[in-house]
Amino acid sequence: QVQLVDSGGGLVQAGGSLRLSCAASGRIFSSYGMGWFRQAPGKEREFVAAIRRSGGSGYYADFVKGRFTISRDNAKNTVYLQMDSLKPEDTAVYHCAAAEFPAGVIFRTSRQYAYWGQGTQVTVSS
């Protein structure tokens, strides 16, 4: 199995930036695709971004495209989410997750991910 630990959340003003990290242990990190999801109070968990096991370009929900960047460093067993131009509506608990993506597929729903971090709170003030 894979154990994931999220970190990097905090309080930031609108227009500011945060960088979330997700450290993995257990199985070989490079075997898994990684995703970020978020959940605000009273709302369903929603897809934010994902990246293939080999890295490269990320895949994004429309509401963060152009503002957030997902990346990974397999040597450090870590995936990142750089969050720029933050908006109050970005306020949520952010979770990283791991899955085995088939070739040519990116998972965009929570049920497709087997392993989850504990979550890190991001709060954006107006």
Residue 99 has pLDDT above 80, yes or no: yes
Q: What is the DSSP letter of 31?
A: G
Of 93, 117, 102, nearest in space to 33 by CA: 102
Tens of pLDDT, residue by residue over 74-94, are 889 999 999 999 999 999 999
Residue 103: the pLDDT is: 80
Nearest-angstrom CA–CA distance, 86 and 68:
9
Quote the tokens at residue 25: 């242990």
| Average pLDDT, integer, range 107-124 | 96
Residue 31, pLDDT above cutoff 90: no
